[in-house]
Amino acid sequence: MREILSPAPSRSGLGRVRTAVLEQRGVTVDPSLVPTVFRGEQSNTSLLFGRRLMFKGFRKLAPGMNPDLEAGVFLARQGGGIPIPATFGALLAKTPEGDPLVLGILQEFVDNQGDGWSWFLSRLPAILSGGEGEEALDRMVERLGRQTARLHRALGGDPSDPDFAPVPFGPEELSRLSDEIGERLGRLFPALSRALPHLPSAAEALASSLLSRRGELERFVSACRSRGAGGMCLRCHGDLHLGQVLVTPDNQVVFLDFEGEPALPLASRRLRTTPLSDVAGMLRSFHYLALSAQMETPGLREAAERWTTEQSRRYLRAYRAEIAESPGLLPPPDRAGGILGLCLLRKALYELAYELDNRPGWAEIPLSGILALIDTPLSQSGWDS
């Protein structure tokens, strides 16, 4: 902490980044702040300094600029009101070749009730069973939609920055997206066939259905692609879901962890993409949430699927209303449904590959999501509702 906060020259030999928000907030070294290790489930190591600061140390280092640091520095220049923790600075080393290695970043500690996943999961089972409290969840979904759009507007708000300036989502980007899906399908179907005998009965039935419908899935990809390209590519969050959201004591939302999908190489995580990729991540998270909430309460599957559909539409309405303040970031409405469909499929394929490798008992959730995409006409995707 002292290495970043102190204006004196570094004594460790490490490089450092100090953002403008550090001086704006007047953050200084406080010797009384004793670091404690955050014990939550994380892919990195976090040290808390009281309830003011958090240092996130990256366990997996890769040469180049870390997207989480880049986004924090960029958004700090965009002014206040953006729903992320303030980034104060970072510690860097160098490879023998002279490339930067970001060791960790110092951020504002955000007081919170927990992440979005736990906030919803503590309330949703009662609602699926017919209990009260649905209005609070409706408001939270709408808030998530608006704030996701505000985040995208900020990420696309500086055309002069070479690392963040929006670029068109054209035919080449559309081809890259559909080709990536084709590659994932090519890897996934053999893996699914091998896993089939070892899956729980519910997942096995869904997997058998999907294996027999590969042609329909490929036609779905073609139909989405035929709608055409449009809108812009941005430096997006890259791995947006309810676990990447903190809920503050007054029920506001703050987005965390802009590193992107951890399985991807650093260069891929820094690429611009359609903001609908983040939207798809949140929609898939709603589906995971609802089906997780009903797993231990038999008979609620239909209610869970209905809740997912309703809240996905609610989120999209709120998102569209806010993103409209920055015309041109999204594709035209007649193309957005197709691009969103591709993004949803890409995310669900990623989820299924993960579950087959790590949690076969959960494979039924992405399997049911993929089959739902096949069975739902693009005109009913929720984009126009």
* Residue bearing the bigger pLDDT, 192 or 381: 192
| Cα atoms in the Cβ-side hemisphere of radius 13 Å centred on 244 | 23
> Where residue 1 falls among pLDDT bands split at 50, 70, 90?
low
> Where residue 23 falls among pLDDT bands split at 50, 70, 90?
low
Residue reference for tokens 């055409």? 228
pLDDT 10s digits, 45-71: 888 887 788 889 888 888 888 999 999
pLDDT 10s digits, 320-340: 999 999 999 999 988 999 999
Say if residue 198's pLDDT is above 60.
yes
What is the rounded end-to-end Cα distance, in angstroms, of the chain? 48
Report d(CA 48, CA 6) in Å as an integer. Answer: 18
> Where residue 40 falls among pLDDT bands split at 50, 70, 90?
low
> Where residue 307 falls among pLDDT bands split at 50, 70, 90?
very high
- Once rounded to an integer, what is the mean pLDDT over residues 16-44? 69
Give the pLDDT of residue 41: 60
Sketch out the chain's domains with CATH numbers: 2-108 (3.30.200), 114-380 (3.90.1200.10)
Say if residue 38's pLDDT is above 80.
no
Question: 77: Cβ–Cβ under 8 A, 6 or more apart, which residues?
Answer: 20, 158
